Amino acid sequence: MVYDYGIIGGGPAGYTAGMLLAQKGKSVVIFEKDKLGGTCLNKGCIPTKSLLHSSEIYKEVFCSSNIGLDISVNSFDFSKVMAKKEQTVDKVRKALELAVKNSGAEVVYSEAQIKDKNTIIAGGKEYTVSEIIYAAGSKPKEIKGLEFDHEFILSSDDVLNIKNLPKSVLIVGSGAIGIEWARIFSNFGVEVFVSEIAEHLLPIADVEVSKRIERIFKQRKIKFFLNDSIEKIEEKTVTLKSGNKVNPDFILSAAGRVPLKPDSECIVLGDSRGEIQLAHYAIHQAKKYVLGIDYDNNLIPSVIYGEPEIAWAGLREQDCGEECQKILLPITALGKSWCDDSTDGFIKLILRDNLIVGAHIVSREASALIHELVIAMQNKLTADDLKKVCFAHPTYSEGIFEALLRA
């Protein structure tokens, strides 16, 4: 069996590269040891967003009295929430499998090993290829002293398979994984504790974003410990270095993910590169490799989901000097936020020489708003250029215009 390309890993980088190469007339075989779609579809983006959606509906039901609804909840079956999550993942995966098949790429469901630069072994067979693309992704990161036992200390993979809601949970780490799971559990009425070794929650974000998340967590009674970590665990009693003690049903270790790297030289795409671990970044890497479509590493948008959404791109305030101008518009300035009962947040722009060099949003629809600003930043549109755009009212998008008027 001879192919132009052998791709190890069927996640966003692997399947995107495979489909594009096949569409260009190349013979392609993709090796996937588990399920097509990688971490994003099977253990990350898609299942967690399904759970977030369910948790938000759950929360809204109990907060519906302000619109005149008197709802009595007779029962709640968490297993149906998890079943819906699986159904969502299955539907998206089936659509992906069909798209890959229609592209002409072949998929081999078996673990693959690189024998040499032109040979891959999988399922007891040898495949001869002209080029090898390694896109095996990443795995949950283990913290020393907090190794996964898959019962009390869970990974982000494990938590997707819980059968029952805990009464309380301790989340270690407040990156995207930790923040989203804190929101999911809190929405379902679980007592949530978050331990973060840095001085702020979500330390990779703009400091003002981090402080707003902390305020929101306090309002929602999500207790967090900053500059803190686990000192010891005795049975199910967790003692932090600060002296605080927590008795969770389990610990979710959300310290991020580590790349799976190849043992031999080949083309590497996606999380395996050890760079930005985001599905859209992996997809764009594949597009650059196959189609030559470039991108700016400094303008890869980050989004954290839940209510309100959090999104950013470009420079943070702490990255800038006095040459930068900061503009901050509270979401309460927008009529749409009051209509939606979603008034907590802001649009923050960082300008330098009349150009937007950083954008940070805490708001409903932040995941959509950030792209308007990325387009402006990438194409070097000035603040004055954007002021000429007529934004519809009432929308969250008009907040960008309103913010720029403050420049």
* Digit-coded pLDDT (tens) for 322-349: 889 999 999 999 999 999 999 999 999 9
Q: Tell me, what's the pLDDT at 102?
A: 97
Query: Is the pLDDT reported for residue 65 higher than 90?
Result: no
Q: Are residues 217 and 338 in the same domain?
A: no
Is residue 212 in some structural domain? yes
Average pLDDT of the chain, as a whole number: 95
Residues 6+ positions from 23 with CB-CB distance below 8 Å: 103, 104
* Reported pTM: 0.95
Question: Which of 253, 277, 310 is the C-terminal boundary of a domain?
Answer: 253
Is residue 46 in some structural domain? yes
Is residue 349 in some structural domain? yes
Query: Is the pLDDT reported for residue 63 higher than 90?
Result: no
Q: Tell me, what's the pLDDT at 247?
A: 97
Other beta carbons within 10 angstroms of residue 231's beta carbon come to: 14
Q: Are residues 34 and 120 in the same domain?
A: yes
Long-range CB contacts for residues 112-115, cutoff 8 Å, separation at least 24: 112/6, 112/8, 112/31, 112/33, 114/8, 114/262, 114/263, 114/264, 114/266
What DSSP string describes 284-347?
HHHHHHHH-----GGG--EEE-SSSEEEEEE--GGG--TT-EEEEEEGGGSHHHHHTT----EE
pLDDT above 70 as % of the chain: 100
236 SS3 class: coil
Q: Are residues 87 and 170 in the same domain?
A: no
Q: Are residues 161 and 309 in the same domain?
A: no
Residues 231-255 have a mean pLDDT of 95
Q: Tell me, what's the pLDDT at 30?
A: 98
Q: Are residues 366 and 381 in the same domain?
A: yes
Q: How many domains, the chain? A: 3
Q: Are residues 130 and 7 in the same domain?
A: yes
Question: Which of 198, 227, 253 is the C-terminal boundary of a domain?
Answer: 253
Is residue 25 in some structural domain? yes
Q: Are residues 125 and 56 in the same domain?
A: yes
Place of tokens 């029962």: 75
What's the count of helices (H) and strands (E) in the chain, helices before strands? Answer: 11, 22
User: What is the domain-level CATH number for residue 373?
Assistant: 3.30.390.30
pLDDT in tens, 96-147: 999 999 999 999 999 999 999 999 999 999 999 999 999 999 999 999 889 9
| Contact (Cβ atoms closer than 8 angstroms) between residue 17 and residue 7 | yes
Residue 5 φ then ψ, to 5°: -135, 135
Q: Are residues 306 and 399 in the same domain?
A: yes
- State the DSSP H helix or E strand holding residue 365, giving kind and residue range, or none if neither: none
Q: Are residues 282 and 304 in the same domain?
A: no
Q: Are residues 97 and 199 in the same domain?
A: no
Q: Tell me, what's the pLDDT at 379?
A: 96
Is residue 144 in some structural domain? no
| Contact (Cβ atoms closer than 8 angstroms) between residue 112 and residue 15 | no
Q: Are residues 212 and 329 in the same domain?
A: no
Tokens of 25: 């007339």
Residue type, 152: F
Q: Are residues 48 and 109 in the same domain?
A: yes
| Contact (Cβ atoms closer than 8 angstroms) between residue 138 and residue 26 | no
Q: Tell me, what's the pLDDT at 393?
A: 97
Name the residue range of residue 82's domain: 2-139+257-291
Q: Tell me, what's the pLDDT at 71?
A: 80
Is residue 147 in some structural domain? no
Crossing angle for the helix pair 176-187 and 45-61, nearest 10 degrees?
30
User: What is the domain-level CATH number for residue 178?
Assistant: 3.50.50.60
pLDDT in tens, 135-145: 999 999 999 88
Question: Which of 291, 317, 350 is the C-terminal boundary of a domain?
Answer: 291
105 SS3 class: coil
Residue type, 332: T
Query: Is the pLDDT reported for residue 66 higher than 90?
Result: no
Place of tokens 């792209």: 371
